[in-house]
Amino acid sequence: MATAGSRWAVVMSRNSGVSNQVVELDFLYPSEGIHKRWDNGYRITATAATLDQAALILSVPRRRPGDETQETLRTSQFPSTHVKEKWAKNLYLSCLCYGRTVS
């Protein structure tokens, strides 16, 4: 999933290892929706934003990993230091998106 201006690009796949999927689309960062989905086994698998909307794809993997952790961060600066600190704790980037981050 990607955006350019106000246009959205979406790629759909079959047999991708996902058993269920939802889209959280909001004019603000959908924090409450993300946490609700995490509690039900969903994980963020894609992100995109326009100037006035943020979209997150959350998916349930067919095979659930044993020890999986996801964290999100909203910031106005590229989070170089934060990323390096998380790498040291074995957390790696899986999605990156630039867009509106107001909560």
- Which structural domain range is residue 59 located in? 2-87
How far is 49 from 6, CA to CA, in rounded Å? Answer: 9
Residue 30: pLDDT band (50, 70, 90) is confident
Residues 91/83, Cβ–Cβ less than 8 Å = no
**Total count of domains within the chain:** 1
Q: Does the pLDDT of residue 103 top 60, yes or no? A: no
pLDDT of 5 reads 87
Which residues, other chains included, contact 41 with Cβ-Cβ below 8 Å and sequence gap of 6+? 60, 64
Residues 85/36, Cβ–Cβ less than 8 Å = no
Of 29 and 86, the structure prediction assigns the larger pLDDT to 86
Would 99 be classed as within a structural domain?
Answer: no
Best CA proximity match to 37, nearest among 15, 54, 21: 21
Would 103 be classed as within a structural domain?
Answer: no
How far is 97 from 88, CA to CA, in rounded Å? Answer: 22
- Going 77 to 81 to 83 to 89, the CA torsion angle's sign is negative
pLDDT single digits (tens) 52-94? 888 999 999 998 877 788 999 988 889 999 999 999 999 999 9
Mean pLDDT within 38-63: 92
pLDDT of 12 reads 92
Tell me which DSSP letter residue 38 carries: H
Would 55 be classed as within a structural domain?
Answer: yes
Would 66 be classed as within a structural domain?
Answer: yes
Residue 102: pLDDT band (50, 70, 90) is low
